[in-house]
Amino acid sequence: MDACLSALDLACRRGDRVLFRGVSFALESGKALHVTGPNGCGKSSLIRILAGLLRPFAGSVERAGAAALVDGRLAFDEHLPLGRALAFWERLDGGSADLEALGLADLIDVPVRYLSTGQRKRAALARLTGQGAPIWLLDEPLNGLDAAGAALVEAMVAEHLGAGGVAVIASHQPFALASGRTFHLPDHAA
């Protein structure tokens, strides 16, 4: 897997407030960035800009490789059983996830709306691995997960980086990264 993600002098404006400016970094294969900062400092907006879902107020993003996003929204049809909801994305992505490892194997017949917060997060991670994208953009990936789940996410990210992927993790919680650095977003507050 060959990937790279770089940001050049990014600025983000929400409404009439500039959240941050002058954000620049470059990530090559196997590297990760842990974006930290308090609520409202623009972590999610940065992730959405990197994903290409939000236009930056200034600056540019360069991506080599497809990007996958996990945020607070699950993008599953709530009334469907988990297995069928995942199957929709698997048909689009052409890959599938190891549900056993994610602890979801017993839940495939359960409608998505009955899943707990942690189970929903695990389901989103299943969609993420099935997508097989080299660039992972994770917005608060540890929210709602128990200790085992958090360790699982950290292991997944480590494995992804080992395979040559790139990851940006926005989280106010500590996140164990073998080959990555921390980026404190409030340092770039406008």
Under 8 Å between Cβ of 46 and 170: yes
Nearest distance, CB of residue 67 and another protein, angstroms: 6
Task: Using the minimum distance from each CB to another protein, give the nearer residue, 78 or 106.
Answer: 78
* Cα-Cα-Cα-Cα dihedral sign, residues 142, 36, 173, 15: negative
Report yes or no: 150 and 179 within 8 Å, Cβ to Cβ. Answer: no
Least distance (Å) between residue 56 CB and another protein: 11
- Closer to another protein at the Cβ: 84 or 172? 84
User: Which residues of the chain form contacts with another protein (CB under 8 A)?
Assistant: 48, 51-55, 66-69, 71, 73-79, 88-89, 91-93, 127, 131, 133
Amino acid in the structure at residue 44: S
Tell me how far, at minimum, the Cβ of 114 lies from another protein, in Å.
16
Measured from the CB atom, the residue of 19 and 36 that comes closer to another protein is 19
Listed in sequence order, the DSSP H helices in 94-144 are: 117-131
Choice between 36 and 97, CB closer to another protein: 97
Residue with token string 């409202």: 40
CA distance 46 to 23: 9
Pairing of strands 67-70, 58-64: unpaired
Residue closer to another protein by CB (options 8, 74) is: 74
Q: Closest Cα to residue 130, out of 162, 176, 99?
A: 99
Cβ at position 91, least distance to another protein in Å? 5
Minimal distance, residue 187 CB to another protein, in Å: 26
Residue with tokens 């899943």: 115
Name the amino acid, one letter, at 32: A
